[in-house]
Structure 1
Amino acid sequence: MIIVVGSYNVDVILKVNKIPEIGETVIADELYITHGGKGSNQAVSASRLGSHVKIIVAVGDDKHGTDAIEFWKSENIDVSKVKVKSGINTGTAYIFVDKKGRNIIVVNRGANYYLSEDDLNNSLEGDILLMQLEIRESVVKKAAKEFNGIKILNPAPANLKDTEILSLVDIITPNEIEFKELVNTDDFEYGLNLLLKKVKKAVIVTLGERGALLATRDGKKVLIPAPKVNVIDETGAGDVFNAALSVYLEKGYDLETAVEYANKVAALSVTKIGALGPKLDEVVRFLEEIDKA
């Protein structure tokens, strides 16, 4: 089982010709309202790939929270540990996506901020623990301390204050921006070695269309490419990558092979609008097409 401890947001997606500059007003061409939040995105994407997933998340006692729970049920996710916070609004994210698929995101955490350490009690039995940083660090820390399987931290957003959390996780998966924020240096090799000394097993830096760099504490360092695709929307690609990485590790694949598959699933995800990953049958067809090419 994959346990996801994280966030849920209602995603308000605005398609624009260009991302606005400070003080600039732009016109949105299209508007989408959908399910989001890094925890939810990763849980749904992992479930769609065939894993048994339990989500530990907080929602408000509003319509958005009710809709979220029904949505997870429809995606075959265990919602027994979802926490409904009385008098609190469900989290919301506002996402601007330009014609090249690039995005900027502003998040109102809402109920996500009220997920507590006590909410984790008797909830952390599984094979893979997948965490992000859209919830309080104290909750992430407790989950990482108490879980006995493989622990993956997707450090997004990367304003990590309690760096002891790094020593509790096996694998950390920043993108390039998050990586630089975590190590606070422009020297990539120095930063990579710095981060490797803090985590238990490996650092995976996701590089968008260039794939991902895998570095392990035992000395492996390899750039794993991603297939070339027609990018429509990059929103959620990192979430899909982390979900797929967790799924293939749960299946027993070695880390390098799991990253290869995660790259491919994430590449497929950016060929359509939205932050949720593809379903297993879509992935199977995509992998077959890649093998034939």
Structure 2
Amino acid sequence: MTFATTQRRSEESRISPVFWVLLATLVTSAWAVVSGFGNPRFGVFLFVVAGWMVSLCLHEYAHARTALHSGDITIGAKGYLTLNPFKYAHALLSFVLPVVFVIMGGIGLPGGAVYIERHRIRGRVKHSLISAAGPLVNVVIGIGLLVLVSSGVFDDPAHPAVLNGQELIVSAFPAALGFLAFLQVSAALLNLLPVPGLDGYGIVEPWLSLKTRRAIEPFAPYGMLAVFVIFWQTAASRWFSDLVFVITDLFGVSKAYPVVGQFLFRFWE
């Protein structure tokens, strides 16, 4: 009985082949961009999309793992610990739309996908920590990428990025890293907004009155879309980008890196 239980738990936590494919795509595209193999702009596109999807998987995994240790023992059976994006509750909100947002507007905005049985969890602090775990992953990844870019280890003045026949001031790979870092920082900041449907609201929700939570609940499915519309239709996107650039500058990363990275990413233009 103990062996069967241990085996089942091992299977529930086994990393999915889908995630390994994403990692392989990330590493292969990184090599292609660094070595100059193939179309560099398409290589940057693959690298950023693969890196973004890997971070989305880790974002949701953090929610799931924290929920498991907080009392929801059903997490493993749902496949949330396998890092398989197809196991999440809302693949459209969690993976399709965030990738579309990046392609259309360069906004890093993960969506909620892990269904947590909140009644199994006791204590408002635990509920808040579960919601905070996802954005924290984006913070850690973002800092790591910014440190890599600022170190200059991937800069190669002899091989600058080329766009429309013109040499740019940075190399392709650090530019791609810079854009991916920009997405991680923007994802962390946006997700911490106290908007229904985003993790920021999940952090404060346990501390609200039952009446307030019930009044807000019907709007939760539309929070992420509302944020995207506001950013797409108003100057909020430019103001927000300026804020993210202030943060990247604190790590010694010039805005040229994410800006050039986004230009290279949009290979179809």
TM-score calculated relative to the size of structure 1: 0.24
Which protein has greater RCO, CA pairs closer than 8 Å, 6+ apart?
2
Larger Rg: 2
TM-score calculated relative to the size of structure 2: 0.25
